[in-house]
């Protein structure tokens, strides 16, 4: 589903963020990407999202070559990918329900689809009781669960979770990881970036270790070797 072929990313100031990365992620996989700060994880994610282009090498998502993608085609690609961030990025003046509904409105879904799907995904992340709360009335773990509901509601093929547990305590971290695992079990590909050794070990799934823009390890059984 995702293919990086000898990808280099050099920023205009000369920083080499990716240094010859080759990797592939198959549909249905759950892949964690680990590495110290500055290793190149965010750059990798930006290239998958089409937010930035490689300096050399190619990045593709299914048959779409992201090096050649035109800006007008990026929204179409982005609809196939749900993204979750460390800082949640919810709209503060909308309730949990409205935050999720808004993602469906933007994608052009009908009122009937919204009315049927939003409660369903909020139930999946165990937030039925709090769906009318505003973000300020929710805990960090609950905010992240709303963000997950929003990311999955349009049934993307891929979920990218960029340090999703970075602001959470261990109990909430565990819950978020279990939800991501459940989403993956339902067939969605998940790419997770994390610093958290416990998360990677609890998952027991494929782990890619990055260092200074290179992949230094690719382990299929959840080993974290930093
Ligand atoms: P990580 O997510 O693993 O912390 P990043 O991909 O953010 O790593 O960064 C990789 C390297 O690229 C770092 O040295 C960082 O300072 C640099 N970098 C990231 N974004 C930019 C940018 N827009 N311009 C210049 N350098 C950048």
Atom number in ligand 1 closest to CA 15: 26
Nearest CA to ligand 1 atom 23: 11
CA of 67 to the centre of ligand 1 (A): 19
Q: Could you tell me the pLDDT band of residue 226, with boundaries at 50, 70 and 90? A: low
| 18-to-11, 188, 202 alpha-carbon distances in Å | 10, 26, 28
Instruction: Give the closest residue (by CA) to ligand 1 atom 16.
Output: 38
Edge-to-edge order in the sheet of strand 56-61: 16-25, 2-10, 56-61, 64-65
% of the chain beyond a pLDDT of 90: 83
Average pLDDT value for residue range 129-145: 97
How far away, in angstroms, is 160 Cα from ligand 1 center? 18
State how far Cα 192 lies from the chain centre.
6
Residue 135 has pLDDT above 80, yes or no: yes
26-52 tens-digit pLDDT? 999 999 999 999 999 999 999 999 889
- DSSP class of residue 177 equals H
């Amino acid at each position: 589903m995702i293919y990086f072929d000898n990808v280099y990313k050099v920023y205009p100031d000369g920083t080499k963020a990716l240094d010859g990365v080759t990797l592939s992620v198959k549909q249905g996989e759950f892949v964690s990407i680990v590495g110290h700060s500055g290793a190149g994880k965010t750059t990798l994610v930006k290239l998958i999202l089409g937010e930035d282009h490689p300096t050399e090498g190619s990045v593709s998502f299914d048959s779409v070559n992201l090096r050649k993608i035109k800006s007008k085609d990026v929204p179409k690609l982005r609809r196939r990918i749900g993204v979750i961030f460390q800082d949640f990025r919810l709209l503060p003046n909308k309730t949990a329900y409205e935050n999720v509904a808004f993602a469906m409105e933007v994608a052009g879904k009908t009122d009937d689809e919204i009315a049927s799907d939003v409660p369903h995904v909020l139930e999946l992340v165990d937030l039925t009781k709090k769906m009318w709360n505003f973000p300020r009335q929710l805990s960090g773990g609950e905010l992240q669960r709303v963000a997950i509901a929003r990311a999955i509601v349009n049934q993307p093929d891929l979920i990218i979770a960029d340090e999703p547990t970075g602001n959470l305590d261990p109990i909430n971290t565990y819950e978020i990881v279990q939800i991501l695992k459940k989403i993956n079990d339902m067939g969605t590909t998940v790419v997770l970036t994390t610093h958290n050794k416990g998360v990677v070990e609890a998952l027991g799934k494929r782990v890619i270790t990055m260092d200074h823009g290179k992949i230094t390890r690719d382990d299929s059984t959840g080993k974290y070797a930093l």
